[in-house]
Amino acid sequence: MTEKAETAPATVLDTRGEICPYPLIMAQRAMTARAPGERLRVLVDYPMSVEDIPRWAEGAGHRVLRVEKTGNALWEIEIEKR
């Protein structure tokens, strides 16, 4: 029998109601506190953050797992720290 490696649930960072540059700054600080392999799920409602956060994450060497629209002007961005 083989064991499946379980992925730890993502830490949720709720930035709804914040405007630039705060969602990005909050995501950067939250990723600093993560260990490699840990995930961060960022909830955003500011459209520029949907572009800025994934661009920053990839540029910083992290892995963007998904960017998903979850409602009217609501998105989830999931990032894995590398």
**So which residues are the catalytic ones?**
20
How far lies 4's CA from each of 40, 56, 65, 75, 78, in Å?
21, 31, 20, 30, 22
Render the burial of 29-47: b for 16+ CB within 10 Å, e for the rest: ebbeebeeebbbbbbbbbe
Residues recorded for the chain: 82
